[in-house]
C-alpha cells in the first residue's frame, strides 16, 4: 500500500489514491475549486510550465496527474524520466498543489473519481477527435465539471523534443566515455568532492546586477508602423552578476562573502535581505550609481529583446582604496576568492591590479572571469584559473588568427596564471594548463607542455544560456579549493553549466544538482552509479553539436 511522504517537503504534494480522494472531499466541503491537468510530463519544458500556471488561474487547487511508466505509450525508450522523478519535478513547482501517478491507461476513471471542477487541456485538444480524450471529457462533464483549453500561444512537444535529440548525432560520446573512465572523474570521488564544499569560506568581488525577465504574450505588429508590439504578462527578477556567483557558492554549501558596490536605496536593501536569506554576507562600498539592470523580453522561452539599463560606475581614488581594502579584509580566513569583472566600471584596470595584489596572498585559490569586451581579462594577474569564453579571450588579446591553444598560452603567459578554462558554447569547454616540467625551461618549452583537455557540453538542449559561465566558475573554484585538479574542476564546472542551461532564469545551482548531474552522466555511460540509484530508468547519453572549424591547436 502506498505510504504518504513525510511532511515538510515538496514530496508531501505527491498523493496516494486514498489520500487524493480524501483531500478532494475536504476541498469540496471548503468550497475550493479543484483544477486538474493530466499528461506524461516526461520533459517538463516551458510550455508545460505556462500551461500549468494558466490552469491554476481557473481555480483554487491544482492537481496534476501523470501517466505511470507501465502504461505510457510514447514509443521505445519512453519514458526517459521515471514516474517518481517526474512526480518530484512537478511537485517542486510552487503553483502545483497535488501530484498523482495514474497507473491506468487513461485519465477517464480518475476523472470520474475526482470530479474536478475544471479539467484543463492544451489548445490543440479543442478539435481533437481522439476517443480517449472524448471519454475524459464525458467523465468531467458527467461529474458536473467543465473542460477548458489553454490559449496555446506557447506550444512545445516533449515527444518532438526527445525525437530531435534521438536523431541528433553525438560526436563527443566516445570522448565523454573516455573522460568518465579517468580515476580523477570517478563518480564516487566526485560525489565526495562535492560533499567537501560545505563550510568553505569564499570571497566574491564584483558588480551586482539585477536580471529581469519580462514574459510577454505573443508579439503583434503595431498599427502605426511595422514594429513589434509586446504585451508583458509577468516579470521575474534575479540577483545576477557577482551576486549570483555568491548565490551559487551558497547553494553548493559554501559560506560566501560578497564585496561589491551598492547605492543607498530601497533596491539595495532588498538585495541585501535576499542575499542574507541565502547565507551570503554582503560588504558593499556606497556609490551614487543605481544598480545595473538587464531586462530581457521573452515570448515563451525565446528571448526577443534585451534592454541594458546601465550607468557606468566611476570610483575615485578614495573609493577604490576602500573597495580593495574591503576585499583584502574579507579575504582573511577565506579558502578561495573569485574576482568577476562584468565591464561596468567597478573593476577598472588599475583596480583589478590592486585587487589581485591585495587578495592573492590571503587565499589558497584565486580565480577570475570577465563578461563583455570592456572587461579587464589581461589585468587579472596570478590567478589559479581564468574562465573566459573563446570570444572574450580573442578580443582581449586581439588575436583572431592563431590556434586556440596558442592564444590560451599567451593569456597564461601575460597574466602569470596557472590554468584557463575556455568556454565554447555548444561545443563545451577546453581546459588549458601546463604539464609538469622544468619551470626554467623557457617560454617555448612552456608552450609545448600546455595540455588541452576537451570536455563536451553536457546539456543537449539549452533552455537558457544566461548564467552558465557563472555556475561553471563557482563549481570549478570550489572544486579547486577542495583539492581537485584542474580537469576535475573543469568537469564539475561543466556539470554546473549544464544544470543552469536547463533552467529559465538566473537560478542558483545546488550541491544536490551537481550530485544528480554526476550520477546521471555516469549511469548513462554505464560507468558508475550509487547502489540506490535506479540506473536502468535514467536517460540517454547527452549530446552536443560541434561548431564548424573549431581550432583547438
Name the DSSP letter for residue 389.
Answer: B
Domain boundary among 141, 165, 189: 165
Q: Is 245 among the domain residues?
A: yes
CA distance 484 to 441: 26
pLDDT bucket at 540, cuts 50 / 70 / 90: very low
Cβ atoms 385, 480 nearer than 8 A: yes
| Domain range for 155 | 10-165
Range of lowest pLDDT (158-167, 421-430, 489-498): 158-167
What are the tens digits of pLDDT across the range 57-104? Answer: 999 999 999 988 888 765 555 677 788 888 988 998 989 999 999 998
**Would the pLDDT of 442 be above 80?**
no
Q: Is 77 among the domain residues?
A: yes
Domain boundary among 165, 186, 215: 165
How many domains is the chain partitioned into structurally?
2
CA distance 313 to 321: 15
pLDDT bucket at 530, cuts 50 / 70 / 90: low
**Would the pLDDT of 169 be above 60?**
no
Q: State the CB neighbour count (10 A cutoff) for residue 374.
A: 14
Q: Is 286 among the domain residues?
A: yes
* 38 phi, psi to nearest 5 deg: -140, 140
Pair (91, 229) in one structural domain: no
Q: State the CB neighbour count (10 A cutoff) for residue 298.
A: 23
What are the tens digits of pLDDT across the range 187-238? Answer: 999 999 999 999 999 999 999 999 999 999 888 887 788 888 888 999 999 9
* Mean pLDDT (whole number) for 158-165: 52
* Mean pLDDT (whole number) for 316-324: 93
Which residues does 529 contact at the CB level (< 8 Å), separation at least 6?
187, 519, 522, 523, 535, 538
**Would the pLDDT of 439 be above 80?**
no
Pair (151, 278) in one structural domain: no
* Mean pLDDT (whole number) for 422-435: 89
Q: State the CB neighbour count (10 A cutoff) for residue 553.
A: 9
**Residues 296, 298, 304: CA angle, nearest 5 degrees:** 80
**Would the pLDDT of 415 be above 70?**
yes
Cβ atoms 500, 507 nearer than 8 A: yes
* Mean pLDDT (whole number) for 499-518: 93
Q: State the CB neighbour count (10 A cutoff) for residue 126.
A: 12
> Closest by alpha carbon to 35, among 11, 9, 54, 48?
54
What value does the mean pLDDT of the chain take?
84
Whole-number pLDDT of residue 130: 77
**CATH code where residue 45 lies:** 3.40.50.620
Pair (262, 410) in one structural domain: yes
CA distance 444 to 400: 21
Q: Which residue has the higher pLDDT, 3 or 362?
A: 362
* Mean pLDDT (whole number) for 135-149: 92
Tell me the chain's radius of gyration from C-alpha atoms. Answer: 26
Which residues does 243 contact at the CB level (< 8 Å), separation at least 6?
208, 209, 258, 260, 271, 275, 280
**Would the pLDDT of 318 be above 60?**
yes
b/e burial code for range 196-209 (CB count within 10 A of at least 16 → b): ebeebbbbbbbbbb
C-alpha distance from residue 446 to each of 309, 342, 412 (Å):
44, 30, 10
Pair (369, 303) in one structural domain: yes
Pair (105, 253) in one structural domain: no
CA distance 233 to 298: 10
Beta-bridge partner residues of 283: 259
| Helix, strand or coil, per DSSP, at residue 302 | strand
Q: Is 474 among the domain residues?
A: yes
Task: Tell me what percent of the residues of the chain surpass a pLDDT of 70.
Answer: 84
CA distance 278 to 507: 12
CA distance 231 to 227: 13
Whole-number pLDDT of residue 470: 96
* Mean pLDDT (whole number) for 526-538: 42
Pair (213, 145) in one structural domain: no
Cell numbers for 117: 471542477
> Closest by alpha carbon to 244, among 215, 204, 200, 213?
204
Range of lowest pLDDT (100-109, 170-179, 214-223, 291-300): 170-179
Work out whether the CA dihedral 131, 133, 137, 142 comes out positive or negative: positive
pLDDT bucket at 4, cuts 50 / 70 / 90: very low
Pair (21, 145) in one structural domain: yes
Pair (423, 280) in one structural domain: yes
**Residues 242, 427, 46: CA angle, nearest 5 degrees:** 65
> Closest by alpha carbon to 106, among 117, 119, 118?
119
Q: Is 5 among the domain residues?
A: no
Domain boundary among 130, 165, 200: 165
Q: What is this structure's pTM?
A: 0.66
Q: Which residue has the higher pLDDT, 352 or 523?
A: 352
| Helix, strand or coil, per DSSP, at residue 239 | strand
Cell numbers for 186: 570517478
Pair (187, 116) in one structural domain: no
CA distance 331 to 350: 19
Pair (147, 61) in one structural domain: yes
**CATH code where residue 330 lies:** 3.40.1190.20
Q: Is 392 among the domain residues?
A: yes
Helices (H), 230-296: 242-251, 266-277
Work out whether the CA dihedral 148, 154, 158, 159 comes out positive or negative: positive
Pair (72, 189) in one structural domain: no
Q: Is 35 among the domain residues?
A: yes
Whole-number pLDDT of residue 154: 40
Q: Is 307 among the domain residues?
A: yes
- What is the arrangement of strands in the sheet containing 232-241, beginning at the earlier edge strand? 232-241, 208-216, 292-299, 302-309
| Helix, strand or coil, per DSSP, at residue 188 | helix
Instruction: Please provide the distance, in angstroms rounded to a whole number, between the alpha carbons at the two ends of the chain.
Output: 60
Cell numbers for 241: 552578476
Range of lowest pLDDT (4-8, 48-52, 337-341, 541-545): 541-545
Whole-number pLDDT of residue 40: 86
Give Dmax (Cα) for the chain. 85
Helices (H), 332-467: 349-359, 390-397, 404-415, 443-448
* Mean pLDDT (whole number) for 435-446: 49
Pair (55, 125) in one structural domain: yes
Amino acid at each position: 500500500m502506498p505510504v504518504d511522504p513525510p511532511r515538510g517537503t515538496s514530496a508531501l504534494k505527491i498523493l496516494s489514491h486514498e489520500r487524493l480522494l480524501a483531500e478532494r472531499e475536504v476541498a469540496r466541503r471548503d468550497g475550493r475549486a479543484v483544477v486538474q491537468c493530466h499528461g506524461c510530463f516526461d520533459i517538463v519544458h516551458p510550455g508545460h510550465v505556462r500551461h500549468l500556471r494558466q490552469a491554476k488561474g481557473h481555480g483554487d487547487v491544482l492537481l496534476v496527474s501523470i501517466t505511470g511508466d507501465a502504461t505510457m505509450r510514447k514509443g521505445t525508450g519512453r519514458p526517459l524520466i521515471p514516474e517518481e522523478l517526474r512526480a518530484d519535478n512537478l511537485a517542486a513547482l510552487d503553483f502545483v498543489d497535488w501530484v498523482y501517478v495514474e497507473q491506468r491507461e487513461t485519465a477517464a476513471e480518475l476523472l470520474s473519481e475526482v470530479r474536478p471542477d475544471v479539467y484543463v487541456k492544451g489548445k490543440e485538444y479543442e478539435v481533437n477527435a481522439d476517443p480517449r480524450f472524448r471519454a475524459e471529457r464525458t467523465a468531467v462533464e458527467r461529474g458536473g465539471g467543465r473542460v477548458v483549453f489553454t490559449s496555446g500561444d506557447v506550444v512545445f512537444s516533449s515527444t518532438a523534443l526527445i525525437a530531435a535529440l534521438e536523431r541528433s548525432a553525438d560526436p563527443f560520446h566516445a570522448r565523454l566515455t573516455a573522460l568518465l573512465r579517468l580515476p580523477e572523474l570517478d563518480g564516487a570521488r566526485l560525489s565526495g568532492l562535492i560533499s567537501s564544499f560545505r563550510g568553505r569560506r569564499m570571497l566574491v568581488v564584483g558588480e551586482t546586477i539585477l536580471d529581469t525577465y519580462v514574459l510577454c504574450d505573443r508579439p503583434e505588429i503595431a498599427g502605426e508602423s511595422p514594429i513589434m508590439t509586446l504585451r508583458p504578462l509577468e516579470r521575474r527578477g534575479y540577483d545576477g552578476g557577482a551576486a549570483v556567483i555568491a548565490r551559487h557558492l551558497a547553494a553548493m554549501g559554501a559560506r560566501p562573502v560578497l564585496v561589491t558596490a551598492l547605492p543607498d536605496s530601497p533596491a539595495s536593501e532588498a538585495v541585501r535581505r535576499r542575499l542574507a536569506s541565502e547565507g551570503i554576507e554582503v560588504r558593499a562600498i556606497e556609490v551614487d550609481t543605481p544598480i545595473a539592470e538587464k531586462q530581457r523580453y521573452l515570448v515563451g522561452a525565446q528571448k526577443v529583446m534585451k534592454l541594458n539599463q546601465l550607468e557606468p560606475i566611476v570610483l575615485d581614488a578614495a573609493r577604490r582604496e576602500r573597495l580593495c581594502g574591503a576585499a583584502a579584509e574579507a579575504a582573511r580566513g577565506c579558502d578561495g576568492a573569485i574576482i568577476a569583472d562584468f565591464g561596468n566600471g567597478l573593476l577598472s584596470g588599475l583596480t583589478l591590479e590592486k585587487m589581485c595584489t591585495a587578495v592573492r596572498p590571503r587565499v589558497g585559490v584565486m580565480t577570475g572571469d570577465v563578461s563583455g569586451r570592456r572587461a579587464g581579462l589581461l589585468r587579472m594577474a596570478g590567478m589559479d584559473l581564468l574562465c573566459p569564453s573563446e570570444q572574450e579571450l580573442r578580443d582581449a588579446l586581439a588575436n583572431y588568427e592563431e590556434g586556440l591553444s596558442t592564444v590560451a598560452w599567451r593569456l597564461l603567459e601575460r597574466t602569470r596564471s596557472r590554468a584557463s578554462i575556455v568556454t565554447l558554447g555548444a561545443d563545451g569547454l577546453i581546459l588549458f594548463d601546463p604539464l609538469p616540467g622544468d619551470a626554467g625551461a623557457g617560454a617555448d618549452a612552456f608552450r609545448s607542455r600546455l595540455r588541452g583537455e576537451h570536455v563536451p557540453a553536457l546539456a543537449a538542449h539549452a533552455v537558457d544560456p544566461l548564467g552558465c559561465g557563472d555556475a561553471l566558475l563557482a563549481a570549478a573554484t570550489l572544486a579547486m579549493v577542495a583539492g581537485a585538479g584542474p580537469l576535475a574542476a573543469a568537469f564539475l564546472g561543466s556539470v554546473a553549466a549544464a544544470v543552469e542551461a536547463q533552467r529559465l532564469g538566473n537560478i542558483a545551482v545546488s550541491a544536490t544538482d551537481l550530485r544528480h548531474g554526476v550520477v546521471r552522466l555516469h549511469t548513462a555511460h554505464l560507468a558508475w552509479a550509487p547502489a540506490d540509484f535506479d540506473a536502468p530508468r535514467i536517460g540517454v547519453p547527452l549530446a552536443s553539436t560541434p561548431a564548424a572549424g573549431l581550432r583547438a591547436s
